[in-house]
Amino acid sequence: MRSIVAILPAAGVGSRMLADRPKQYLAVGPAGESMLEVTVASLARVAQIERILVAVSPEDPFIGALHFPARVSVLPTGGATRAETVNNTLAALKSAYPADTLVLVHDAARPLVAKEDVERLIEATLSMTADHPSGGCVLAMPVSDTVKRTNAEGELIEDIDRTRLVRVATPQCFRLDALTSALAGRPNVTDESSAVRAAGGRVRSIPSSPMNFKVTVPQDRTLARLLLTASELGEKRMQLRIGLGYDSHRLVEGRPFILGGVTIPHTLGLAGHSDADALLHAITDAILGAANCGNIGILFPDNDPAFKGADSAVLLKEAWMRVRETGNWTISNIDSVVVAQKPKLNPHVDAMRARIAEILGIEASQVSVKPKTNEKLGYEGREEGVTVHATVLLVKN
Binding residues for Mg ion (CB under 5 A): 247, 281
**To the nearest whole angstrom, how small is the minimum distance from the Cβ of residue 267 to Mg ion?**
21
Q: Which is nearer to Mg ion, 201 or 245 (CB)?
A: 245
Round to whole Å and give the CA distance between 251 and 339.
Answer: 12
Q: Which is nearer to Mg ion, 4 or 283 (CB)?
A: 283
Round to whole Å and give the CA distance between 334 and 284.
Answer: 11
Q: Which is nearer to Mg ion, 186 or 317 (CB)?
A: 317
DSSP letter string, 255-284: S-EEETTEEE--S-EE-SSS---HHHHHHH
Q: Which is nearer to Mg ion, 78 or 272 (CB)?
A: 272
Round to whole Å and give the CA distance between 283 and 327.
Answer: 19
**To the nearest whole angstrom, how small is the minimum distance from the Cβ of residue 284 to Mg ion?**
9
**To the nearest whole angstrom, how small is the minimum distance from the Cβ of residue 52 to Mg ion?**
56
Round to whole Å and give the CA distance between 228 and 218.
Answer: 16
CA distances from residue 346 to 307, 352, 359, 373, 378 in whole angstroms, order as listed: 30, 10, 21, 11, 21
Residue 383 Ramachandran class (φ > 0 left, ψ -120 to 50 alpha, else beta): left
Round to whole Å and give the CA distance between 15 and 170.
Answer: 20
Q: Which residue in the shown chain puts its C-beta closest to Mg ion?
A: 281
**To the nearest whole angstrom, how small is the minimum distance from the Cβ of residue 270 to Mg ion?**
8
**To the nearest whole angstrom, how small is the minimum distance from the Cβ of residue 230 to Mg ion?**
44
**To the nearest whole angstrom, how small is the minimum distance from the Cβ of residue 275 to Mg ion?**
10
Task: State the virtual CA torsion across 69, 70, 72, 75 in degrees, nearest 10.
Answer: 120
**To the nearest whole angstrom, how small is the minimum distance from the Cβ of residue 277 to Mg ion?**
7
Round to whole Å and give the CA distance between 34 and 42.
Answer: 12
Q: Which is nearer to Mg ion, 224 or 283 (CB)?
A: 283
Q: Which is nearer to Mg ion, 295 or 374 (CB)?
A: 295
DSSP letter string, 159-192: EE--TT-EEEEEEEEEEHHHHHHHHTT-TT-SSH
Q: Which is nearer to Mg ion, 174 or 257 (CB)?
A: 257
Measure CA 372 to chain center: 43
Q: Which is nearer to Mg ion, 247 or 380 (CB)?
A: 247
Q: Cα–Cα–Cα angle for 358, 362, 368, nearest 5°? A: 85
Q: Is 112 within 8 Å of 213 (Cβ atoms)?
A: yes
**To the nearest whole angstrom, how small is the minimum distance from the Cβ of residue 276 to Mg ion?**
6
Strand 257-259 versus strand 262-264 pairing type = antiparallel
Residues whose CB falls within 8 Å of the CB of residue 193, separated by 6 or more in sequence, listed in order: 136, 138, 168, 172, 203
Task: State the virtual CA torsion across 123, 128, 131, 133 in degrees, nearest 10.
Answer: -100
Q: Which of 92, 67, 64, 62 is nearest to 79 (CA)?
A: 92
**To the nearest whole angstrom, how small is the minimum distance from the Cβ of residue 312 to Mg ion?**
8
Q: Which is nearer to Mg ion, 281 or 348 (CB)?
A: 281
Q: Which is nearer to Mg ion, 113 or 296 (CB)?
A: 296
**To the nearest whole angstrom, how small is the minimum distance from the Cβ of residue 113 to Mg ion?**
55
